[in-house]
Amino acid sequence: MEPVIIGDKLYEGKAKAVYATGDPDVRVIKYKDSATAGNGARKAEIAGKGELNRRICSKIFTMLNNAGIPTHFIRDLGEDGQLVKKCAIIPLEVIVRNVAAGSFSARFGVPEGAALSRPTLEYCYKDDALGDPMINDYHIKALGLASDGELAETARLSFEINELLSAYFRKAGLRLVDFKLEFGRTPDGIALADEISPDTCRLWDMETNAKLDKDVFRRGLGDLAGAYAEVLRRISG
């Protein structure tokens, strides 16, 4: 495989940075050790978190690619990051839930841990200055953020990804409570982009309900890197 030339930094977010490569259609993503919560209100550097998230995310995207889900992921580059296809991110967070938790429990007064009779999906508008407000299909279309066809495709893919991911984590003794996805536009159509990791999923131990995700940091429950290492160990088993 040809060595990857890593060029200029194009974008830096809270947990990742994106770099140009020698190929204009390809980017490199590097994962940072920063952890943030509450839209950046709580911050910390957690040694090892970036590498753990990259390794977990690369395994998940490899599984999804093999299952036929269109994703931006090309391959893992080890400590250099991840090689991905360039895509234009649709500014929506797509949240899929199997069990009530977090903002869903708070908004609807449903106890955390209550099973939902079917998976749900909701959108948030990706805008830090606005605090990523929840947004519905009509708003999305009225604001021209995505078309009918794109929304139908992202919803279809999101529920399919939920089935694949839930089974994947179940084998590792983990319950997939909820997760956040982002999609991008590529010349070949919509593709899953961004990351899937314990930063973007709620994962509970199947037996004990112990949290093995970013809630450990958000709620000050202890050793975040230890929890992420346990997720990696279980999906590698």
**Smallest separation (angstroms) from ligand UDP to the CB of 188:** 25
**Smallest separation (angstroms) from ligand UDP to the CB of 137:** 18
Alpha-carbon distances, residue 213 vs 3, 37, 49, 130, 138 (angstroms): 34, 12, 11, 25, 32
Q: Does residue number 76 form part of the binding site for ligand UDP (CB under 6 A)?
A: no
Closest to ligand UDP by CB, 5 vs 134, is: 134
Q: Does residue number 182 form part of the binding site for ligand UDP (CB under 6 A)?
A: no
Which member of 201, 212, 232, 235 binds ligand UDP (CB under 6 A)? 201
Closest to ligand UDP by CB, 81 vs 198, is: 198
Between residue 202 and residue 221, which ones bind ligand UDP under the rule CB under 6 A? 202, 214
| 165: CB partners within 8 A, 6+ apart | 60, 64, 176, 179, 196, 201
Closest to ligand UDP by CB, 93 vs 150, is: 93
Write out the two tokens for 64.
Answer: 């999804």
Q: How far is CA 18 from the centre of its chain?
A: 15
By CB under 6 A, which span of 2-10, 94-102, 150-158, 163-171 interacts with ligand UDP?
94-102
Which member of 30, 200, 216, 230 binds ligand UDP (CB under 6 A)? 200
Q: Does residue number 16 form part of the binding site for ligand UDP (CB under 6 A)?
A: no
Q: How far apart are CA 22 and CA 196, in angstroms?
A: 26
Report the run of H or E that residue 64 belongs to, with start and end: helix 49-66
Q: How far apart are CA 59 and CA 221, in angstroms?
A: 26
Contacts 24+ apart (CB under 8 A), 165-168: 165/60, 165/64, 165/196, 165/201, 166/98, 168/60, 168/63, 168/235
Q: Does residue number 193 form part of the binding site for ligand UDP (CB under 6 A)?
A: no
Under 8 Å between Cβ of 72 and 66:
no
Q: How far apart are CA 66 and CA 140, in angstroms?
A: 31
Which member of 31, 61, 123, 179 binds ligand UDP (CB under 6 A)? 179
Between residue 96 and residue 155, which ones bind ligand UDP under the rule CB under 6 A? 101-104, 132
**Smallest separation (angstroms) from ligand UDP to the CB of 34:** 14
Q: Which residues contact ligand UDP (rule: CB under 6 A)? A: 93, 95, 101-104, 132, 178-180, 200-202, 214
